[in-house]
Structure 1
Amino acid sequence: MKKVKTWMKISDVLSDFQDKINTSLGRETSSEWNKRVLKEYCVYLRGLSVQGLPEILNEIQDTWNSGLYQDFVWAFGERKMESRPLTFEELAHNKLSTLAATNLPSTGFNTLMSGKTDLNLFRAMGPMIEAIYHLNSGRAFNWEDMLNLAFSDLETRLIFALNRFDEVKEVPEPTAEFFQKLKETSMTSEQTKNLEEKIGLVLIHIEGEIFGMGFENSVEDYWPTMSLFIQFLAACSAVQHNREEIVNEDIIRAYRTFFKLIKTDVTQYKADPELVRDMDEDNPDYEDVIVCKNCGSYYKLEPGESVDDFESCHCGGELKQVHDERT
């Protein structure tokens, strides 16, 4: 995190300069402001009658006091690969990812504003799990790590079992129907939006306490990814309870899942040997593939072929061509 630490030094210099001015004028410093606002948000949240919220606030306090939250955020910024990335064709072996890519809409930069469950929310799982994996391994990802991250059943466990991800014996098979239900979920209740926002602000101000003011600007992708991840888990919770509306209990369950996850050694979740049997670190293949929106089956296109040459999948599902932009 050399770049991050450089930005932090610059931020600290600017913050110190501003604090000297504020002190000379009898105003509160940035650190004093951060402590005050953090306390106000915590008092506000503890005054709400939301089942499970006190336990979440206790989890936040415990992970902060233990240093775990600090280590996790550092791991998010430090994660890196020492092997090549997986190709689209290789990732097409992951049925969960192909079903998500072919059934969830891509809202783009409007994801956080729309409140809709889209592909960006699903993709936030990857970086968060990578950070926890790095937190446990303490090194750059090698080829085996890349396969474990992409082809273990951890993501499926999170989606279907949430805070019981480590307890289930049989993980349900992902289906197109599940993702079609998922894309209909949204967070429209102002009460629920307020709950999610305030818990998030508590974490932002804790980061200020740990790393100094301006830290959230130094790791620009951490906070949006974290927020998307929580919203995605909450949406999965809503679907599991046959609801399209994300409610307070879904936010609580999402945070329960998150804090349990960062306390778990996720390196124990290994890639399915059958899925990765023919994958070779030294033999990347960046061909185009077509995937089925219904069952997740894939087919590598031969030179000159396109999705237009095929009517439908063997299951009757619609086909979509996926192109690897790295070619």
Structure 2
Amino acid sequence: MKDPKTWMKVLDRVFDFKDKVNTSLGRETRREWGRRMIKENWEYLNNLNVLGLKEILNEIHDNSNSGLYRDFMFAFEGRQMECRPLTFEELAHDKLSTLAATNLPSTGFNTVMSGKTDLNLFRSMSPIIETTYYLNSLRPFNWEDMLNLAFSDLERRLVFALDKFDEVEEVPEPTAEFFQKLKETRMTSEQTKELEQKIGLVLMHIGGEILGMGFEDSFEDYWPTMSLFNQFLAGCSAVQYDREEIMDEDIIRAYRTFFKLIKTDVTQYKADPELVRDMDEDNPDYGDVMVCKSCGSYYKLEPGESVDDFESCHCGGELKQVHDERS
């Protein structure tokens, strides 16, 4: 992977200067504070009697020492594309995404306060998968890469198989019922919240130890995305056990999935040829799309048409119009 960017080095110099001042005054430096936070949170986690937690701590230790975690963070910042993005109509070919978009609530005050799983958590999957893909390809995404990222079955594997995503042969078809259950999942146990937060804090401060203090400002998008991704997987785990409450075991399963994913060559997962057969990189087709909340079917609206012109989907489900603002 490439060396830290110039702005990272500048930030490090700034914080090195501040640390020299603090040292001269007998104060704790940022690096010393970060190391203390790692130690305190690590000890807290190490003393918990949570099945599978020791495995997660071992993963954190091994991935940090091997350099994998550092490479993954830089891949998150370094990923880029050399082709156009997919349009809403093209993305509507993916049933998982359309069902999520029409059944999960958008992030708002109510979902934040209730802690329920929402669309923002679902959308954290894409940047994490993109980062893992980039980590294995180490080049800007071309059109074929974009299709593979959007239309392979990897997202479905993660949603329905979690830490067994690379082992299952058949992946279930997504349904509206699954997302209706998923949107009700929430983390209410203070112990579970503390477990999730402490693991995240250990990873964040290890990032500071690897990259130098001040990295939080440069990687401000990485931390919430990683956290949302693991919260989303934990919700998927709860649904599989027919629960609304996210428990400790769901957090462990989520992080086990995350660590397995970042060590996997996800470029092996290819787009379904049937879904991308008519997609042309040079001729994007922008426009509004009507999708069904029940079966995930989609239909491109012609000029002058709107969702009000249709009573329901052929399956009887409710229709929702999605506007492509790029058109």
Q: Which bin holds the TM-score, normalised by the shorter protein?
A: over 0.9
Q: Which residue of 2 aligns with 1:231?
A: 231
Could you tell me which runs of 5 or more consecutive residues in structure 1 were left unpaired when the two chains were aligned: none
Q: Which amino acid aligns with 1:277?
A: R
Aligned: 1:150 with 2:150: yes
Instruction: Map Cα deviations across residues 15-37 of structure 1 (whole Å, 9 max, x no partner).
Output: 11211111111222211221122
Instruction: Map Cα deviations across residues 36-95 of structure 1 (whole Å, 9 max, x no partner).
Output: 221111111100101100110000000000000000110000011100000000000000
Q: Contact 2:111 / 2:118 at 8 angstroms: preserved in 1?
A: yes
Pairwise CA distance, 1:307:
0.4
Q: Which residue of 2 aligns with 1:14?
A: 14
Q: Which residue of 1 aligns with 2:172?
A: 172
Could you tell me which runs of 5 or more consecutive residues in structure 2 were left unpaired when the two chains were aligned: none
Pairwise CA distance, 1:305:
0.5
Q: Which residue of 2 aligns with 1:253?
A: 253
Q: Which amino acid aligns with 2:14?
A: L
Residue 244 of structure 1 aligns to a residue whose secondary structure is coil
Residue 210 of structure 1 aligns to a residue whose secondary structure is helix
Q: Contact 1:293 / 1:317 at 8 angstroms: preserved in 2?
A: yes
C-alpha distance in 2 between matches for 1:15 and 1:197? 25
Aligned: 1:312 with 2:312: yes
Gap change, CA 1:210 and 1:114, over 3 Å in 2: farther
Residue 311 of structure 2 aligns to a residue whose secondary structure is coil
Q: Which amino acid aligns with 1:234?
A: A
Q: Which amino acid aligns with 1:59?
A: E
Residue 5 of structure 2 aligns to a residue whose secondary structure is helix
Pairwise CA distance, 1:108:
4.2
Q: Which amino acid aligns with 1:182?
A: L
Q: Which amino acid aligns with 1:237?
A: S
Pairwise CA distance, 1:110:
7.6
C-alpha distance in 2 between matches for 1:251 and 1:113? 20
C-alpha distance in 1 between matches for 2:237 and 2:55? 18
Gap change, CA 1:284 and 1:10, over 3 Å in 2: same
Pairwise CA distance, 1:215:
0.7
C-alpha distance in 2 between matches for 1:99 and 1:234? 19
Residue 102 of structure 1 aligns to a residue whose secondary structure is helix
Q: Which residue of 1 aligns with 2:58?
A: 58
TM-score norm. by structure 2 comes to 0.97
Instruction: Map Cα deviations across residues 229-251 of structure 1 (whole Å, 9 max, x no partner).
Output: 00000000000000000000000
Instruction: Map Cα deviations across residues 251-287 of structure 1 (whole Å, 9 max, x no partner).
Output: 0000000000000000000000000001000010101
C-alpha distance in 2 between matches for 1:206 and 1:305? 53
C-alpha distance in 2 between matches for 1:210 and 1:300? 48
Q: Which amino acid aligns with 2:227?
A: S
C-alpha distance in 2 between matches for 1:142 and 1:312? 38
Q: Contact 1:108 / 1:120 at 8 angstroms: preserved in 2?
A: no
Residue 242 of structure 1 aligns to a residue whose secondary structure is coil
Pairwise CA distance, 1:107:
1.4
C-alpha distance in 1 between matches for 2:176 and 2:117? 15
Q: Contact 2:82 / 2:142 at 8 angstroms: preserved in 1?
A: yes
Q: Which residue of 1 aligns with 2:300?
A: 300
Q: Which residue of 1 aligns with 2:26?
A: 26
Pairwise CA distance, 1:6:
4.1
Q: Provide the aligned C-alpha RMSD in A.
A: 1.5
Residue 291 of structure 1 aligns to a residue whose secondary structure is strand
Aligned: 1:118 with 2:124: no
Residue 216 of structure 1 aligns to a residue whose secondary structure is helix
C-alpha distance in 2 between matches for 1:48 and 1:133? 34
Q: Contact 1:186 / 1:244 at 8 angstroms: preserved in 2?
A: yes
C-alpha distance in 2 between matches for 1:95 and 1:6? 42
Identity percentage of aligned residues:
80
C-alpha distance in 1 between matches for 2:315 and 2:100? 18
Residue 282 of structure 1 aligns to a residue whose secondary structure is coil
Q: Which residue of 2 aligns with 1:278?
A: 278
Q: Contact 1:122 / 1:232 at 8 angstroms: preserved in 2?
A: yes
Residue 321 of structure 1 aligns to a residue whose secondary structure is strand
